[in-house]
Structure 1
Amino acid sequence: MDIRQVFGDNLRRFRTQAGLSQEAVAERMGVDRAYVSSMERGQQNVTLLTLWHTAQALGVKPVDLLDEDFAAAGDSDVPEGSSPS
């Protein structure tokens, strides 16, 4: 799977599990809602800094957003050791 899609799928899953809208995540990151939407669709080649800000906005570790197994699992639980807030 393309790493951009892995990131996007994980972003969407953590965001919804945290009960956050795209707009709320965008506000926490200081970006536009459309940018969050395009990241979720795998259309953005994000920088390390964006990866960090996304993780901070969701209350997860940056590595959690790159977990291919979690992305492929669909609606699985949050990986052990992660706690979206």
Structure 2
Amino acid sequence: MPWMAELLTRKIAESQEEVVQAIAPIIDQIIKNRVEQDKFAMSAAIAPLIASAIARQSAQSPQEMAQAIAPTWAERSKSKLCWSDARVVDGAL
């Protein structure tokens, strides 16, 4: 599988549209089949692509990347703090 991730990463660098067109039918088929094994295989194949895209974007424009994820990160942090506070209160009662 590492060679597949490398090939797809290179292909993304060359032309994102071609990659989307190539992967879309596979994703559609997996969604239709809803087979857990296929979902796992696709997740395993796509994960390196996502990681590569995030790493590349982060390296090219770290400030823009930080601004893009800041609202989501802040919301998740607040949510986790609220749940943590609720557990402390529940434990005290």
Same fold flag (TM > 0.5)? no
Structure with greater Cα Rg: 2
Q: TM-score, normalised by structure 1?
A: 0.27
Relative to its length, the structure with more helix (as a share) is 2
Higher RCO (C-alpha 8 Å, min separation 6):
1
Q: TM-score, normalised by structure 2?
A: 0.25
